[in-house]
Chain A
Amino acid sequence: MPLYIARRLLGMLVVMLIVLTVVFVIVRIAPGDPAALILGPDATPQDAIELREKMGLNRPIIVQYFSFMTQIASGDLGRSLFFDTPITTILYQRAEPTIFLTLFSLIIAVSIAIPIGIYAAYRRGSLFDQSALSLAMLAAAIPSFWTGLLFQQYVAAGTGWFPVSGYGGPDANFFERMWHLILPSIVLGIVNSALILRFTRASMLDVLADDYIRTARSKGMSERRVVLRHALKNALIPIVTIVGLTLALLISGAVVTERVFNLPGIGSLVVGAVLRRDYPTIQGTLIIVAGLYVMVNFLVDMIYLAIDPRVKY
């Protein structure tokens, strides 16, 4: 087992190196001179030449690549062109709404999807099952920003129960800030419950057909116990994977949802950076988000190892 963990760690490192390379390439394929872009239209050609020299853009691409890799490896993501602050600092400041939005929507998605998925599998083919599947399909087809706008207009503005947008004032306390995340989390949670629901249902269907379920039933065990103890325990194992994968979808969804609800998170940061051609910020965000995803995947594998006694390496 330690050998397996070591190999997984090594694999993770290789994937991260490729991620960094991809990010390096994406930022370099941008047309135009980055120095001229930073300086704006008023700069003289002389300014541009000096800045290119300072940024190391005149060095051979391979040298730039290695200095990029060593810089990232030392934990330095560079400075934002627009804010003129280290990117790690900006990401830290912007992380709160994104982290809690993702977390709350994951909780909402799981608490909608898993019970419905279990019951739909248990009553396979029933009206409940068919409606659940149809709704899941619909949820996957609706653009989340559109749902967001509708909720904003008809739920928040219509009832006045929730704040319509924003993250509270500059002196809003933690509770007020979290209160602003409820509606966005509901939207993102509903949209992302679809995949977990379909997966839970399929996983439960697989398990419910197994011999030990028949054994448990023939022993006269109550249905409740059969489904919730015997079946669910085993069905949950593959569900862990899909919950891990949903995290990546949630981050994508958060980018859009933050824009709808005007939340000052990492999604808004990156969209702003794209509009301002602030390449170091785009680069830094991509690295951190992809890095998080790789780590979550690793953790999911480790959880697998811990909860499924059949998995041995």
Chain B
Amino acid sequence: MSGSAPSEASLFKILIQRRSVLICLGILAVFIFAAVMAEIISPHSPKEMSVRNRLASPDGNWLLGTDEFGRDVLTRLIYAGRVSLIVGVGVATLSSLMGIILGLLAGFFRKLDGPMSRFIDAMMAFPDILLAISLVAALGGSIFNVVLALSIVYAPRIARTVRASTLVIRELAFVEAAHALGTSTWRILVFHILRNMVSPIIVQATFIFAYAMLAEAGLSFLGVGINPDTPTWGTMINAGRQYIGIADWMILAPGIAITLCALSLQIVGDGLRDALDPRLSKEV
């Protein structure tokens, strides 16, 4: 099985051959760099207010203008990006972990399949934003709780993929051979089954990264996400909507940032899917 998947070196080669993927990786790298180096590269402090410069339009000092408290929009954009990226990476990781456990159990143990699959169906019956805001309402609005809530929302998608792949791989000869050799069940699950479906999980996780960033922005926009004191792209847009007629830079900058990130992630996800498994490239 693993023989058909490209090696890491050739995978990278296939990825960067596509110009669009290369550009998107570059865009993501810029966002990650800015988030990590926020303290160093930000021109101002995210909380520094300059009352005289309230709602100042973009110029040499305020590259992207200022907000209603005279805070630098570019600086806040950089710090907010940090939160968005943490949420995206956090949700992609945690939902993958949850989904892998659920999916492996459902796919491998026949007795668990029925109840687990019904559970996955039930979780997917809730529209994502609705489930997320209810969970955040119950858990509270910290960054960790938002990550947890969104991971619960997206884990069933990973679980479905993992379950479907497990059902196929479970029947293959090498799994039977491992059984016959007396390999323990969890070893088979992790080293024989899970290892052979890393690529679809990574592809799915990339898309979930994008969905999670969009969903977090939506939650913050609705005022039911991360506490409003923490700058996020969603809270910035929410704050800017009152000033849209006089200071549209307040909502343009964060909106473009979200779109660029989500778009880049999707294009990279598509590229990864095609590179990891050419058979899938025809699908949506």
For the complex, is A19 an interface residue (Cβ under 8 Å from B)? yes
By beta carbon, the residue of chain B nearest A268 is: B222
Q: Is the CB of A146 within 8 A of B266?
A: no
Interface string of A220-254 (1 = CB under 8 A from B): 00000000000000000000000000001101110
Bits for A280-307, please: 1 = Cβ < 8 Å to B, else 0: 0010011001110110010000000000
Which residues of the partner chain B approach A145 to less than 8 Å between Cβ atoms? 217-218, 221, 237
Query: What are 25 contact pairs spanning A and B, CB under 8 A?
Result: A15-B122, A18-B122, A22-B126, A30-B138, A30-B139, A31-B140, A141-B214, A144-B218, A150-B255, A205-B282, A252-B127, A252-B128, A253-B129, A255-B129, A255-B133, A255-B222, A256-B221, A270-B134, A271-B223, A274-B133, A275-B223, A286-B130, A286-B131, A291-B125, A297-B125
Among A138, A141, A149, which residue has the most Cβ atoms of chain B within 10 A?
A: A141
Tell me whether B83 is interfacial, beta carbon within 8 Å.
no
| Chain A binder among B105-113, B181-189, B241-249 | B241-249
Residue in B134, B224, B244 whose beta carbon sits within 8 Å of that of A275 in the complex: B224
How many inter-chain residue pairs (CB < 8 Å) link A and B?
Answer: 140
Complex-state Cα separation, A195 to B207, whole angstroms: 13
Interface residues of B in 104-161 (CB under 8 A from A): 118-119, 121-123, 125-131, 133-140
> A11-B118, A270-B130 provided; 12 other pairs, C-beta below 8 A?
A26-B134, A138-B263, A140-B262, A142-B259, A195-B284, A248-B127, A251-B130, A256-B222, A274-B224, A275-B224, A293-B125, A293-B126
Q: Is the CB of A143 within 8 A of B218?
A: yes
Kindly state whether residue B102 has any CB partner on chain A within 8 Å: no
- The answer to whether A29 has its CB under 8 Å from any CB of chain B is yes
B244 touches A294 (CB 8 A): no
Q: Which residues of A contact B171 (CB under 8 A)?
A: none
Within the assembled complex, what's the spacing in Å between the Cα atoms of A16 and B237?
37
B98 within 8 A of A: no
B283 to chain A, nearest CB (A): 6
Distance in Å from the Cβ of A238 to the closest Cβ of chain B? 10
Asked whether A198 is an interface residue with its Cβ less than 8 Å from the other chain, the reply is: yes
Interface residues in A114-131 (C-beta closer than 8 Å to B) = none
B251 within 8 A of A: yes
Q: Is B272 an interface residue (CB 8 A)?
A: no
Find out whether the CB atom of A146 lies under 8 angstroms from the CB atom of B127: no
